[in-house]
Structure 1
């Protein structure tokens, strides 16, 4: 009598493979049935946007619909009118909180917003010391705003 070529381990692997294939087939059939019961595309959830821009799951009320003309939609930033300009005084006033003459830099505190601005000796018009009242202009530097054209008041 000849011995079987299939070992116990091989037959167990074959049983697992067949069971996996059968489970997959059952899941696929269950999905088909569920899709047919729900009517196909109705199972896909929709998201609607209400008049305030919020996402909802219910469709918006047609009575609250607002008619907008395409020419009224502004894309970009509107151009400034001549009367829209704010009066901005570039000259600010402040007090010298720290200044080191040997190193050539210091800091000025703005009297309006109490911001501290860096000041370099190259941006000075007059010689300044600590606690002097000064007027200055701001300029964008490498690490923020710098006080330039600084002179005593």
Structure 2
């Protein structure tokens, strides 16, 4: 990856607002051009299969792959969902310190989450907020 792209991605993740501040999320989505580059960044950051991310975004895998490879206009709810997922990743990386540890927690079924993996909740805004709250609980020493 080119140095310029690394700097752009660092700025992108640094600029993403915290999930708990929906006012900032709203204005971020409406101020920034959430485009193909955000989807590509989410894809690179997560390293997860297209089927998983497309399920989170409530779109088909084919549509997700089109969004990654072509410059198309995204629906507002898809833009918001992308920003929220990136915000969750930002928080998760802060809590777990490494992408690998965060993704292990994210993808592992959890007894305290009704034996579901945290990633199973990311297809709705309320689910994203719930998992973000669980990350905050981990920060304060709770078992999650």
Given the two structures, how large is their TM-score scaled by the length of structure 2?
0.21
Name the structure where strand makes up a greater proportion of residues. 1
Q: Which has the higher helix share?
A: 2
